[in-house]
Amino acid sequence: MAKQEDQFKKVLSHAKEYGYVFQSSEIYDGLSAVYDYAQNGVELKKNIRDYWWKAMVQMHENIVGIDAAILMHPTTWKASGHVDAFNDPLIDNKDSKKRYRADVLVEDFREKINEKINKDITKAKKRFGDAFNEEEFISTNPNVLRRQKQMDEITVELTRVQEENDLEGFRNLILDLGIVCPVSGSKNWTEVKQFNLMFGTQIGASAENSTQVYLRPETAQGIFVNFLNVQKTGRMKIPFGIAQTGKAFRNEIVARQFIFRMREFEQMEMQFFVKPGTQKEWYEAWKQTRLKWHLSLGMGAENYRFHDHDKLAHYADAAADIEFNFPFGFKELEGIHSRTDFDLSQHEEYSGKKLQYFDHTENKSYVPYVVETSIGLDRMFLAVFSKSLVEEELENGTTRTVLKLPAVLAPYKAAILPLVKKDGLPEVARKIMDELKWDFNVFYDEKDAVGKRYRRQDAAGTPFCITVDHDSLEDDSVTIRHRDTMEQKRVKISDLKAIIKAEVDVKKWLQKM
């Protein structure tokens, strides 16, 4: 655990030091759970968004994108259930005065038990070596069995209190489990209350004429209300998808863990409209497709797992999360939801307009079913950034900090470094820069010794360093150094473009899907 916390602290300070993420309005001591992306962060974020857009929209003939407004007609949120049904259960600790989501407290407690099981398994693995049979150990070891039973019991009760909206039961569950406040360490809890997470604001100048509107808490509804417009103008045939990336806002209560949970964040969502009755197949297919997208980035299959939901939201008939191994453990990175015809039917009812599709093969109209894939761009950023940050021991006994970002996502693809700031080397370096910048985002640096400049680029995540030296003036060649292997090669200046492209090209990465 201490190691995990250390790693997380490193992630936070590295993100700031290397111009990835700053706290919002830092000169005023910041605004809680709101962050700004800095000069490198904005490039990484854009590259993740582009990687998603390429895979989800441009590689599918039957998926198109939109960009809907953040402000929507207020009835949208009545229809979606966000005004009435989307309330989170909250509980306060009387000693620390801190407020928590009751379900998150219980889930975190359950996850701690899971971590203990994992520790038992790791220990046993070490003790038994090659003879270790994990399946047998899990199904027979008394400690593991006891812990698993406790986890199952918690899941059953958590599902019950959520489904029955039993707020007193929720509090009792927290008390029975002996859950303490992470800040005060006490069990002095208030009642559990419901709280709406939407940010409200007013449209219109005067108080009498103003209308209450909301900052959208999810991008999905912008897709649903445009369903028929897109289907008709794009002459889309079912099955087809509409995708969108954009800001969403939630007045989150448990706002810690850096950009994992923010009040203003960005989502990348795709709603796939299908014939009723086929939703299960599409749900399974999208689960697999989305997992493959993650795996294509090469951050290790062991860092992902599916978590099928115990409790389904009122609009869903199946739901799963893709969880990622963040520095604070496995947590939701993306949700895949089979949303039935709930949203479109609700919008039909509240708007009085038909939102149906005429199926020529069936010769009838119906409200399509929807399978949604929804990922937080900021969470994906945190996943990539935290997994890429490593400290490496070198053969000469020193260590180096490297940000091993997948090259396709790295903010800068190459840094161009004249060995010295004279003798015509900067001119050659600038010439290379002027040529490469048409194809790649490249960086120029002539300050400090070249070794120091290499380290700086390693830590910033740049896959290649290109060094111009005195020989370059004679042989039109440069030294290219690879971030991960530190291998250096002499290559022709005219070959640089092809060498870099071979590593950073989206096609190379997405073809792994």
- By CB under 6 A, the count of residues binding ligand ATP is 16
Binding part of the chain for ligand ATP, among 57-65, 185-193, 332-340, 394-402 by CB under 6 A, reads: 332-340
The nearest distance, CB 508 to ligand ATP, in angstroms, is 26
Contact between 477 and 420 under an 8 Å Cβ cutoff? The reply is no
Q: Is 347 in the site for ligand ATP (CB under 6 A)?
A: no
Binding part of the chain for ligand ATP, among 23-31, 126-134, 329-337, 430-438 by CB under 6 A, reads: 329-337
Token pair in block for residue 213: 């509107």
Contact between 368 and 344 under an 8 Å Cβ cutoff? The reply is yes
Out of 14, 45, 261, 413, the only residue in the binding site for ligand ATP (CB under 6 A) is 261
Residues 83-122 that bind ligand ATP (CB under 6 A): none
The nearest distance, CB 94 to ligand ATP, in angstroms, is 25
Out of 216, 250, 404, 413, the only residue in the binding site for ligand ATP (CB under 6 A) is 250
Buried b (16+ CB within 10 A) or exposed e, 391-416: eeeeeeeeeebbbbbbbbbbbbbbbb
Q: Is 343 in the site for ligand ATP (CB under 6 A)?
A: no
Count of C-beta atoms within a 10 Å radius of residue 293: 20
Parallel/antiparallel/unpaired status of strands 414-418 and 442-444: parallel
Out of 179, 375, 442, 450, the only residue in the binding site for ligand ATP (CB under 6 A) is 375
- Identify which of 84, 122, 82, 89 has the alpha carbon closest to the alpha carbon of residue 107: 89
Q: Is 379 in the site for ligand ATP (CB under 6 A)?
A: yes
The nearest distance, CB 305 to ligand ATP, in angstroms, is 14
The nearest distance, CB 192 to ligand ATP, in angstroms, is 17
The nearest distance, CB 155 to ligand ATP, in angstroms, is 15
Out of 37, 265, 293, 330, the only residue in the binding site for ligand ATP (CB under 6 A) is 265
The nearest distance, CB 462 to ligand ATP, in angstroms, is 27
169-175 contacts, C-beta under 8 A, 24 or more apart: 170/89, 170/91, 170/102, 170/103, 171/91, 171/102, 173/106, 174/91, 174/102, 174/105, 174/106
Q: Is 339 in the site for ligand ATP (CB under 6 A)?
A: no
HSE-up of residue 416 (Cα within 13 Å, Cβ side)? 25
Binding part of the chain for ligand ATP, among 18-26, 201-209, 257-265, 343-351 by CB under 6 A, reads: 257-265
H-run or E-run covering 491? strand 488-492
Cβ nearer to ligand ATP, comparing 379 with 481: 379
Contact between 295 and 270 under an 8 Å Cβ cutoff? The reply is no
Buried b (16+ CB within 10 A) or exposed e, 215-251: bbbbbbbbbbbebbebbeeeebebbbbbbbbbebbbb
The nearest distance, CB 44 to ligand ATP, in angstroms, is 16
Q: Is 334 in the site for ligand ATP (CB under 6 A)?
A: yes
Binding part of the chain for ligand ATP, among 43-51, 188-196, 226-234, 373-381 by CB under 6 A, reads: 373-381
Adjacent-strand bridge partners of 325 = 330
Count of C-beta atoms within a 10 Å radius of residue 431: 13
Residues 157-196 that bind ligand ATP (CB under 6 A): none
Contact between 55 and 373 under an 8 Å Cβ cutoff? The reply is no
Q: What angle do CA 366, 367, 372 make, to 5 degrees?
A: 140
Q: Is 335 in the site for ligand ATP (CB under 6 A)?
A: yes
The nearest distance, CB 118 to ligand ATP, in angstroms, is 21
Cβ nearer to ligand ATP, comparing 43 with 378: 378
Contact between 272 and 281 under an 8 Å Cβ cutoff? The reply is no
Q: Is 374 in the site for ligand ATP (CB under 6 A)?
A: yes
Residues 197-236 that bind ligand ATP (CB under 6 A): 218
Binding part of the chain for ligand ATP, among 137-145, 258-266, 343-351, 392-400 by CB under 6 A, reads: 258-266
Binding part of the chain for ligand ATP, among 149-157, 208-216, 286-294, 374-382 by CB under 6 A, reads: 374-382
Q: Is 262 in the site for ligand ATP (CB under 6 A)?
A: yes
Out of 245, 267, 356, 457, the only residue in the binding site for ligand ATP (CB under 6 A) is 267
Binding part of the chain for ligand ATP, among 11-19, 45-53, 375-383, 394-402 by CB under 6 A, reads: 375-383
d(CA 91, CA 99): 6
Cβ nearer to ligand ATP, comparing 376 with 426: 376
Three-class SS state of 153: helix
Token pair in block for residue 193: 């209350």
End-to-end CA distance of the chain: 33
Q: Which residue has the tokens 């407020």?
A: 99
Q: Which residue has the tokens 């909206």?
A: 165
The nearest distance, CB 383 to ligand ATP, in angstroms, is 9
- Using a 10 angstrom Cβ sphere, with 0-12 exposed, 13-18 middle and 19 or more buried, the burial of residue 180 is middle
The nearest distance, CB 32 to ligand ATP, in angstroms, is 12
Cβ nearer to ligand ATP, comparing 219 with 462: 219
Name 106's Cβ contacts closer than 8 Å, sequence gap at least 6.
154, 158, 173, 174, 177, 179
Q: Is 336 in the site for ligand ATP (CB under 6 A)?
A: no
List interacting residues with ligand ATP (CB under 6 A): 218, 250, 252, 261-262, 265, 267, 332-335, 374-376, 378-379
